[in-house]
Structure 1
């Protein structure tokens, strides 16, 4: 009998990836809530959890088995998984282990126990504090203890910028902080985390170097690292230009990243879980600094691993959920290098025209090894789109496989030149110009 696999927030893009995977032939994938039902204008953890349970209960009540529950999005999906898996008797890491990663301050306290590669940090109360902790130096980053995709994360160089950032955080943090505080009620928190809750911020001294993401999983107590992705930013901007795999690093750096990752995951737990851990490596000083650990793989990297290694990282997640060893392949794919590129705009606007499906198909045919996904559509006001980073607006993602980095860049330039977005400027009172 096929395995019934339930996927939180399943969308068309990730359904295609799942259905192309090696083990897909023995699985039936069922969506549990849509992405928009989970990530609406307001996120209610209780409402989303209740709706997911009702959908799963209805399936179980019809006599069907629930063989696995998976998801690849950040909070709240990442934290709903252990709650739902426990309810339906499926193997899972504990909610506490997941929240140790999700809560940025708690994560730093765990890191202090087993590694030295983290930046100076401290807590900030956005309602009352007007300056960072006295022992931290500018430049620094300030962000809520729960955020993702760089939402409400601000780089600040002085007290004026710090206070301006706190004002923006206060105005926008409830979208994530309110449901995150709901989640904390499900966890037996240590006193130092219970005292701060989920509506505080973390200030950290800025890290320099090349940004890297280590992906791996833990199965039967063993921690496996299967790849390192490099995150390349635009010149003079903290916004990402591309995620590139594999990262071009000296072997000893990969060994150090693997060792740090293994020690941290073993301290937290995360049995039968994928993870991704973000680092900076400074080639000048050879220093490695850990940015954050996420208790999930990155769905943004799925096509990259498929192109280079021959298997999407979704497959590791699926096999773990079915209590199987992922046995991730190495360099069995069609391309030597792959990247997810971001088409961005650095000023607000209203999308007057988006590329049509026919135009996208034509570009993908002309530039082989590419796949284009739109993030902004006709009628969208860019500043009103959810999950935008603080410094730019995401118009489209372009997945590209190539023989080398030069071909990778040439293909992206060709795609961007051909994408027919038309965007109206927005004037100072917020109306579309023209």
Structure 2
């Protein structure tokens, strides 16, 4: 058996061992074992979360503590040089957050500028706001140095996970600030607060809420890299899922008078998304979700050229591994097929028969993990359409699934589980049992 000193002498082996420990356990090991101290110290600094995950509105306390530490000891006497991943707070790029007020934004900026920080990954919520020109320059100065740093790195040397309202990434000044080609994870928050068409969009505030978010809204997304394989998705609870199982904006549960929905006519938003996604050549994880969807009655769907271009752009993403669509994406009839590179696909929302026809004919080439949650039309928002009737799908083209989970299909496609079972005999036993329980007339797993 190898001695402790022999194990610690092999740095790669030491790192592999502590990967199984929590940060608190690593810290305890650091305090009790001199041999493991160097590798534990480096590991604790390797990922820097600049906010308390349990207290999302912590006003940047961690940033203030780090700034005081640096002022007292200097940059070289801390572990900042070991930082490889930085996780920013959702309000980090606002002038009132601790990341800016503490001055820690300038610490990172200087380290990036002078090449003293070997940053590998940045989790960024793109939510800019400022009150004065000097505050604007402060925020954009950091982003410019971040872009310059990113452009000096190859895609395998630096990556970004970005969460944003796509309106804030409109072509022009904002989209030029980020190195879009380095984005590997993109979480797009579709804000349907406004009517959705080119003519009835609500005005955008360019100082306080440049991305359309309102103060106090509790929604945070932490980047987790599932890796290149699907081995960590063998348990269905690990799949992409909505943040809550209770009635939400996805169900259209707001008790207000319904208005005519014209989101499908929003050619501006479709163009922004197409332009953005056409540049994300290294994108591996794409999530598109609704954060607000007021009660609106759907009209019959017409697939416009901008929406067709958007469909094509998503289908051509060369490296996408995981596609997740939650809530309204222009219209319940707007079906988006995954690219051939995709392995994991998840849909969650209200859909129509036309959407199901698109799903039925899609082969889902190379997709091994599929999850669909059909939401109930509890407000009868599809009452104005001819395409929201319960009817069988009869067959599906997808045939390579290893894991599959379907919820709520009895509301619109009662035979979907049976079709999937017949077309995918290689499904895992758990998926077979789950689908068999919901498939009418099927007494035992296929």
Q: TM-score range by the shorter chain?
A: under 0.3
TM-score for the superposition, normalised by structure 1: 0.27
> Structure with the greater relative contact order (CA < 8 A, sep ≥ 6): 1 or 2?
1
Larger of the two Rg values belongs to structure:
2
More strand by share: 1
